[in-house]
Amino acid sequence: METSTLAMYHCLAFVWYFFLAYSITHLRAEERPSEVFVYGGQWKYLTVLNLVLQAVFYGVSFLADVLRLIKKLGCAKSVISSRDLLFSVLAFPVSTFVTISFWTLYTYNRELVYPRSLDGVIPLWLNHAVHTAVLPFALLEILATPHRYPAKKKGLILLGFVAFLYISWVLWIYSVTGEWVYPLFALFNPVGLAAFFAGSVAIIVSFYNFGAFLNRMIWGQSK
């Protein structure tokens, strides 16, 4: 894809994710079910954090495209490096995890992850925008441009660290409020919950490896 076309796409994707993040974080207070939006607000949900992550990623990608267009190649190189790290370690695996884990649990028992009380608050289109469309966007990004993946050890350490931070945030919220971020967690005893978190980390690591595989198959081994 030509740089100018890529810049336009990244700009539109940035605006789209900024709009989604704004929409879901600015629901009117009187519309928020009290049992859902407690301590931490929307910022305790991985879905919402992913929207911010995607907006940052596409913003950085757009900046890299603009720098390439105006021939600021020295600056573009460092921005592209940040773009690739964001995409490989976070943007692709997290968006893939959000879509697959959400719809798997929703199909099994939606009350465990998306209570019916949210239907009157979050429109159907917004639900699909934040839980479904994020995966096609990530796949399209792989098709649109190559990304240089970091050394596998470095990538997995960074991904594991971010996963640890989010799990710590979830546990902190429970320690403060006595309420789990997702009702699903209340089904487990401490050992089961630890196993669930470990399994989730293993799954998101597999998505990291899958993204690296797709990037390599489409664009070849980056040098």
Average pLDDT over residues 150-169: 95
Angle (CA) 78 134 184, round 5°: 115
Query: How many independent structural domains does the chain possess?
Result: 1
Average pLDDT over residues 55-82: 91
Assign 28 a pLDDT band (cuts: 50, 70, 90).
Answer: low
Which tokens in the block code for residue 36? 């859902």
Q: Which residue has the tokens 């401490």?
A: 190
Query: Exposed, middle or buried: residue 14 (CB in 10 Å: 0-12, 13-18, 19+)?
Result: buried
Distances (CA, A) of 92 to 89, 137, 210: 7, 9, 9
Q: At what angle are helices 152-177 and 190-219 packed, to 10 degrees?
A: 150
Predicted local distance difference test score (pLDDT) of residue 32: 52
Identify the weakest region by mean pLDDT among 33-42, 48-57, 70-79, 193-202.
33-42
For residue 35, the 8-state DSSP code is: T
The whole-model pTM stands at: 0.92
Report pLDDT digits (tens) over 86-129: 999 999 999 999 999 999 999 999 999 998 888 888 899 999 99
Question: Does pLDDT of 159 surpass 80?
Answer: yes
Distances (CA, A) of 175 to 30, 31, 85, 115: 26, 26, 33, 22
**Enclosing domain of residue 187:** 3-27+35-219
Assign 7 a pLDDT band (cuts: 50, 70, 90).
Answer: very high
Report pLDDT digits (tens) over 170-182: 999 999 988 899 9
> Are 139 and 209 in contact, with CB atoms under 8 Å apart?
no
Distances (CA, A) of 140 to 45, 92, 137, 211: 24, 11, 5, 12
